[in-house]
Chain A
Amino acid sequence: MAANPMSQFDVYRIGPEIKVGAFDISFTNASLFMILSTVSILLIFNLGSKKNSILPNKIQLLSELSYTFVSKMISDTAGSKAKPYFAFIFSLFMFVLFCNMFGMIPYTFTVTSHIIVTFVLAAFIFIGVTVIGFIKHGFGYLKLFVPSGVPAVLLPLIVVIEIISYLSRPISLSVRLFANMMAGHTMMKVFGGFVISLGIVGGWLPLSFSVALTGLEILVAFLQAYVFAILTCIYLNDALNLHH
C-alpha cells in the first residue's frame, strides 16, 4: 500500500545525536536540505559574479537578472530608503525559493513545509521591522495603528483591529508559506498513491493530475517565495515611510 502522504514531512536524525545542554541540535534531513540550498545559492551566485564580462554568460546573466529582479521589487514597494536591507531580502527570497524548489525533486525534504522554519523567519522579520520602525520614528511609529481620516466614533474599534492585524503578520506570513508547501506536497503524494493503487488500468487519470500538479507546484514554489519577499518589503515600507 502507498505510504502515508504525511510521512514525507518526517524529520529524522542523520548521524549521531548532538546535545547542547537540554537542547537537541542533531543534524537532520531538514538541516541537510538547508545546507544544500544555501550552498547551491552561494555556488551559483559566486560563479555568476566571478567574471565581469560585458557580454555575460548564462550563469552571470542568471545572477544579474535575480539581482535586478529583487532590487526592482524592493525599490517598487519600499522605496529607496530600503536599500540597506537589500542583502537581507535577497537572501530571504533566494533561501525560500531554493528550499521550495529543492522540495520539488522527488525523495527530497521541503524545509519550508515546516511551520517552525517559516515562523522563525517571519518572527525575525516582524521583530526586525518593528525595531526599525521604532528607531526611525520613535513612539510616532504607534501612529501606524491610527489611520487618518477615520471618524472619532470608530477610532477605538479601528485601532484594535489595526493592532490585531499588525500582531498577526508573522502568523499569516509563516502559515501562508508552510500551508502552501504542505498542501501541495500532500496532494502530490496522494495522487501519486492513487497511481500506484489503481495500477495500469486506472492509474492514468491520477497520473495526468500528478503531472499537472507538478507544474502548478513549481509555480507555487516560486510564487510563495515572491510573496514572502514582497510582504517583507511591504512591512519594511510601513516601518520606513510612515504614511498615516
Chain B
Amino acid sequence: MVKKIYFQSIFFSFFFIKEAFAAESGGMPQLNPEFWVSQIFWLILTFGIMYLVLSKLILPKISNNLESRKSQILENIEAAEKQREDSDAKLKEYDEIISKSKLEANSIFNQAREKALKDIGAKREVLDKQIDNEIAEAEKEIDALRKNAPDKINKIAIETSSELLQKLIGAEVNNSSISAIVDDLSKRNGNKYYGN
C-alpha cells in the first residue's frame, strides 16, 4: 500500500514538472545571435593564443623530452649490451684459463709418473745386473768346487782304502797301486755320481 502510494506520487509529479518546464522554456539560447560575434571573437583570440604558445613553445619541448629519453634509453641498452658482451668474454677467458691449467696439471702429473717409472726401471736394471753377477760368481764357485770334488774324493778314497787295508791285512800297501785302482773306479763310476 505504502509502496503503491510512493510510486503513484512519483508518477504524478512527473506530469507537474513537465508542465512547469513547458511553461518556462523559451527556446534555445544557442540560436539567439546576440552574442555570436562576441563568442567568435573570443574563440579566435583564446584558441589562437593557445595554438601559438603550444606549437611554438610547449610541444617542441615535450617532443624534445621524449626524444632525449628515447635516445638515452637506447644508449643505456647499448651500454648494458656491451657490458654483457664484456662479461661473456671474461667468462670465456676464465674458462680457458681453467681448462689450460687442468691440462698443465695433467701433463705435470704424467711427466712425474714417467720419470718415476724410468727411475724404477733403471734401479731395477742395476739390481738385476748385480743379482746376475752374484749368481754368475756363485755358479763359478760351485763349478770350481765341483771340479775339485772328484780329486779330493779320490784322495780321501785312496787314503781311507790304504789305511783300511793296513788295518785289515797289516801290511803296507803301495799307495800308487791303490790310487791307480781308485782312479780307474772313479773314471768308471764317476759319471754315476757327478754327472750333471
Contact = CB atoms under 8 A, between A and B. Distances in A.
Interface stretch (A110-118, A220-228, A232-240): A110-118
Interface in B63-80: 63-66, 68-69, 72
Interface string B25-64: 1111111101111111111101101110111011101111
A115 B17 contact: no
Contact of A67 (B26, B34, B66): B66
Contact of A10 (B14, B17, B29): B29
Contacts of B6: 201-202
Interface in A140-168: none
Contacts of B30: 9, 113-116, 178, 182
A117 to B, nearest CB: 6
Nearest to A29: B35
Interface residues of B, number: 49
A91 B65 CA distance: 19
A115 B35 contact: no
Contacts of B62: 45, 48-49, 63-64, 67
A50 B54 CA distance: 13
B173 to A, nearest CB: 140
B32 to A, nearest CB: 8
Contacts of A34: 42-43, 46-47
Question: How would you classify the secondary structure of chain B's contact residues: helix, strand, loop or mixed?
Answer: helix
Contact of B53 (A42, A52, A114, A202): A42
Instruction: Give the contact-size bracket for chain A.
Output: 35 or more
B156 to A, nearest CB: 124
Contacts of A35: 42, 46
Contacts of A67: 59, 62-63, 66
Contacts of B99: none
Contacts of A201: 6, 9
B10 interface: yes
A5 B40 contact: no
A180 interface: no
Interface stretch (A72-80, A131-139, A189-197, A210-218): A189-197
Given A25-B41, A34-B43, A4 B24 contact: yes
Contacts of B63: 67
Contacts of B42: 25, 27-28, 30-31, 34-35
A2 interface: yes
A49 B68 CA distance: 13
A103 to B, nearest CB: 14
Contacts of B37: 23-25
Contacts of B26: 4, 6
Contact of A31 (B10, B20, B38, B58): B38
Interface string A35-63: 10110011001101110101000001001
Given A52-B64, A197-B16, A198-B10, A91 B35 contact: no
Interface of B: 6, 9-10, 13-14, 16-17, 20-21, 24-32, 34-44, 46-47, 49-51, 53-55, 57-59, 61-66, 68-69, 72
Minimum-distance CB pairs A-B, first 4: A87-B55, A31-B42, A49-B61, A202-B10
5 contacts: A1-B24, A6-B25, A24-B35, A115-B31, A198-B9
Given A45-B59, A67-B62, A94-B54, 9 more contacts: A6-B26, A42-B53, A45-B62, A90-B54, A91-B50, A113-B30, A120-B44, A197-B17, A198-B10
